[in-house]
Amino acid sequence: MSETPAIPSSSHYVIEATSETFAREVIERSSTVPVVVDFWAPWCGPCRTLSPILERLAGEYGGKFLLAKVNSDQNPDVAGQFGVRSIPAVFGVWDGAVADAFVGVQPESVIRTWINRLLPTEAESLAQVARRLESSDPRAAEAKYGQALALQIDLPQAQIGLARIALAEGQIEDAAARLAALERRGFLEPEAERLKAALMLQTQAQGAGSVDSARALLAAHPDDLKLKLALAEALAAAGQYADALALCLGLVERDRKGVGEQARQVMVAIFQLLPPGDELVTEYQRQLSLVL
């Protein structure tokens, strides 16, 4: 009689995450493997029913996902970030974002189905490999994205990745075409929105020229608002966001319905490029709201 294969110990695939370790243990790890986050507390009876099921499945799946347990009493800030109102609450985190969630005890069959939906497809796995190759070997990344699209023609991660490579290499038309195709769905992912903003700034900067040439032109005609806008666009394309925002805000104040409207659009594009909560974003959004 053949023996049933032993299920791997769950200990390798279960971690305790805290406020101090959450970014490293959950967010960073989720860039390579889905992480199931289980919010629980010692006093919670349903948690004592659900947790063993999740831990057993973590061992059974053998590393296809990680289980991160978070004591919501000891880490209320993390629970607050996830909007946890009752426990047990379970979130699937993939590539830094919440992909799915459920609350309360569920039958094991339902949890299995939920986990299977969370696991990346072959195409998604290829796209993830490609993402890690982009900076070191963009040609290999393009090939991986192509393989992913051959398996799933509408995979947004692959189209976004190819647009990102095209934009980094100055292939403006190619990047624009890919983003336009994504936008025809009626929405854009946050990364695609960021690329759209970067594309707008690069397109505008082509007409503005380099920062040095834009400065020289403005020095010769210091009262020309369009030349001030051109310098702001060149600065934004060069990543000098603070200087670009300061110039744009001044233009909005001076000529709100003319050049100022174009300057406002540049500011919005910069806001989309910078991380949420960035000090520049917070400060200039506040100042822009006062001007408008």
Q: Are residues 37 and 91 in the same domain?
A: yes
> pLDDT tens-digit profile of 14-72?
999 999 999 889 988 888 899 999 999 999 999 999 999 999 999 999 999 999 999 99
**pLDDT at residue 7 in the model:** 41
CA dihedral over 258, 261, 266, 267, signed as positive or negative = positive
Q: What is the pTM of this model?
A: 0.65
Q: Which of 17, 47, 165, 269 is catalytic?
A: 47
Residue 101's beta-bridge partner residues?
91
Same domain, yes or no: 261 and 231: yes
* Residues in contact with 135: Cβ distance below 8 Å, sequence separation at least 6, in sequence order: none
Long-range pairs for 131-136 at CB < 8 Å and ≥24 separation? 131/157, 131/161, 134/161, 134/164, 134/165, 134/168
Provide the number of structural domains found in the chain.
3
Residues of the chain with pLDDT under 70: 1-10, 208
Residue 1 pLDDT? 38
Does 4 reside within a domain?
no
Question: Are 114 and 168 members of one domain?
Answer: no
| Known catalytic residue at 248 | no
CATH number where 246 lies? 1.25.40
Q: Which two tokens stand for residue 58?
A: 């973590």
Let me know if 47 is a catalytic residue. Answer: yes
Give the integer Cα–Cα distance in Å for 269 and 281.
11
Which residues lie below 8 Å from residue 204, measured CB to CB, with a gap of 6+? Answer: 233, 236, 237, 266
pLDDT of the residue at 140: 97
The active-site residue, picked from 15, 41, 44, 172, is: 44
Residues near 176 by Cβ (< 8 Å), separated by ≥ 6?
199, 203
Containing structural domain, residue 227? 206-291
Same domain, yes or no: 87 and 151: no
Predicted local confidence at residue 6, as pLDDT: 43
